[in-house]
Amino acid sequence: MNALLVRTTLALVLGLAGSAGAHADEVLVAVAANFAAPMARLADDFKASTGHTLKLASGATGKFYSQIVAGGPFEVLLSADDETPQRLIREGHAVAGSAFTYAVGQLVLWSATPGLVDAQGAVLASGRFQKLAIANPKTAPYGRAAMEVLAARGLTAVLSPKLVTGESVAQAYQFVATGNAELGFVALSQVSVPGKALVGSMWRVPAALHTPIRQDAVLLKAGAGKPAAAALLQWLRSEPVQAVIRSYGYERG
């Protein structure tokens, strides 16, 4: 679906603006780093459709968990996993029954250098690089998935000395983009942008090599009873919005 058609459909199907004027509000959303670009693109559509405004903060899911538990003001979490939202519900920081999968992420091995990464990821065992960037596996689900891939390929020990660890998958991407690492495990959404040609080379990691990256949204206690937060969660489930999300390389949950 092309961008113009998606935007037109969003306006038609989700046209809630007629009643939004008197009730417009702002919702503070914690967004997993891998989903920052799609969510930034969708923010204007959300405002046009509902009258509500999104205030976005992006970062590592594990960092957001710590901030929310410490009393951070976020009202909705768009997590990079499905475990953190359930943990927040169990611990009383999120609303029971509000979590759902808004996207399933795709892990890729990427290099800014054309031709360096082959279609099977054999470069990992080739010794043709000095640094491999990953997100922190302790706080970022894409980092955990990357370590699972290395384990599945039997490369954990040999590649551990070459790892450059970023706080989030966004920082792992920056390490590769700036040349501080020749390769990096990042999200497909970061390197395959709709309407733009791929820069460099990549390997789409087979799903069988790591735990599925199911990314769940959840209503946090700070957003309970807030119309803007409820509207966002409903809006994310809609087919026009899901079409935009899929255009960035995600799958539907």
| Tens digit of pLDDT at every position of the chain (253 positions) | 444 444 444 444 444 333 444 467 999 999 999 999 999 999 999 999 999 999 999 998 999 999 999 999 999 999 999 999 999 999 999 999 999 999 999 999 999 999 999 999 999 999 899 999 999 999 888 999 999 999 999 999 999 999 999 999 999 999 999 999 999 999 999 998 888 889 999 999 999 999 999 999 999 999 999 999 999 999 999 999 999 999 999 988 7
Q: How much of the chain is helix, strand and coil, in % rounded to 5?
A: 45, 20, 35
Phi-psi region of 192 (alpha: psi -120 to 50; beta: other; left: phi over 0): beta
Domains 3-104+213-247 and 107-204 share a fold: yes
CB 93 within 8 A of CB 220: yes
Q: Tell the CATH topology of 3-104+213-247.
A: D-Maltodextrin-Binding Protein; domain 2 (3.40.190)
Mark 8-28 as b/e (b = at least 16 C-beta within 10 Å). Answer: ebbeeebebeeebeeeeeebb
Measured in whole angstroms, the distance separating CA 64 from the mean position of its chain's CA atoms is 13
Q: Is 212 helix (H, G, I), strand (E, B) or coil?
A: coil
Alpha-helix residue ranges (DSSP H) falling in 51-155 = 61-69, 83-90, 141-152
CATH architecture of the domain with range 107-204: 3-Layer(aba) Sandwich (3.40)
2: tokens are 């092309």
Residue 225: CB atoms within 10 Å: 10
**CA-based max dimension of the chain:** 61
Give the start-to-end residue ranges of the domains of the chain: 3-104+213-247, 107-204
User: Which amino acid does the sequence have at 111?
Assistant: S
In this prediction the pTM is: 0.83
